[in-house]
Amino acid sequence: MLQLLAVHLLAALVAPALVAWIGRKAFWVLALAPASATVWALSLTGRVMDGDGPTQTVEWIPGLGLDLSFRLDTLSWLMTLLVGGVGAVVLVYCSAYFKAHASGLGRFSGVLVAFAGAMLGLVTADDTLLLFVFWELTTVFSYLLIGHYHERKASRRAAMQAIVVTTAGGLTMLVGVILLGEAAGTYRLSETLADPPHGGMVTAAVVCLLVGAASKSALIPLHFWLPAAMAAPTPVSAYLHAAAMVKAGVYLVARFAPAYSELPAWRTIVVVLGCGTLLLGGYRALRQHDLKLILAFGTVSQLGLIILLVGYGTKATALAGLALIGAHAMFKAALFLVVGVVDAATGTRDLRRLSGVGRALPLTAAAGGLATLSMIGAPPFAGYVAKEAAL
């Protein structure tokens, strides 16, 4: 696993020089980094399903008891497939999305690959302190990606808003990580969840963890940063806000739910925030005219539903939640990419000004139609399977 992280790091470092050398074709080469993570996870499918996923531990900071510990189980396997697979597709898409002489492509490509590596580390980390390190790395990289168009005031404001909200949530989460680690006597994630501690301090720790998840996954009342982040380039919206960054909070909730879902504080927070975000996001989506904002508020709504499912604590809801994580990442990322094509072809994302796009872009319309059918839960698409399981 360290080798895969090293591949991402190397790709991020050479990205600016590679873009300067071969231009937009560099995105195809850089896509090999997240694609390698997907291939690696697929090659281990049998072992993971048998409960014999690989682990790796390297001593890092002995004085703090901090190790580079990684573990691939069913949940991290699914998240690795999404982070790597969608990341590779988005990087390939970037090769055609940006103009040949667009400024800042070298920096953008490097940060995007680095973000993919940080997400890979986050979902495979088996040490809560290490998980927090990767958590904060995704915050920093997302800030740089959202603010890519730094000459635009809206982009700068959206990037600053995102980093303030998610950093505040991350620091609260750090308090929870430390409290939980001290109560358990270990910061090893698998050991903590195998024999979870309980008590007043642990309840406080769990609440802090949920605050961190709420900030990352744009749950109410911290949902506002996600629609504002649509000022970022469309590939960023597709990756960070449909498949990767916002799923970090979902991953955290899904990881700790088997151990702490019976706590009244956990159940109350998950149900209230999940249902509230589901309803508010759906309502706000119906009032938008910008295609990206419609998808953004729809994402907020779906994140509320996913958090409710994975955090509720029963096996049935957890399985439905995992199915919806995968389906949502695929259909929402596809729809964001379709919006990018429409925007580039027509010069607008305003629904009131768009007419006849399907006739002009039949392949794009077909892709968007299929993704929409999955999103609304029409059979036989993945969205139907996931939402039927949820019901």
pLDDT in tens, 28-71: 999 999 999 999 999 999 999 988 889 888 888 777 767 889 99
How many CA atoms does the CB half-sphere of 190 hold within 13 Å? 18
Place of tokens 């929409």: 372
What values do phi and psi take at 363, rounded to 5?
-70, -40
- The closest alpha carbon to 342, from 367, 314, 374, 311, belongs to 367
SS3 content of the chain, % helix, strand, coil (to 5): 80, 5, 15
Give residue 98's pLDDT: 87
SS3 of residue 73 by DSSP: coil
In this prediction, residue 29 carries a pLDDT of 93
pTM of the model: 0.92
pLDDT for position 324: 94
Please list the alpha-helical segments (H only) found in 44-152.
45-49, 74-97, 105-124, 128-146
Compute the distance between CA of residue 12 and CA of residue 141 in angstroms, rounded to an integer.
12
pLDDT of 58: 87
**pLDDT at residue 51, as a whole number:** 84
Model pLDDT, residue 9: 94
Amino acid in the structure at residue 255:
R
Confidence (pLDDT) at 52 = 85
Q: Which CA distances in Å does 40 have to 5, 31, 34, 84, 179?
A: 12, 14, 10, 10, 34
Say what the pLDDT of residue 344 is.
87
pLDDT of residue 59: 84
Which regions in the chain score pLDDT beneath 50? none
Assess contact for 95 and 25: CB atoms under 8 A.
yes
The pLDDT assigned to 210 comes to: 94
Residue labelled with tokens 């879902």? 261
- 3-class DSSP state for residue 299? helix
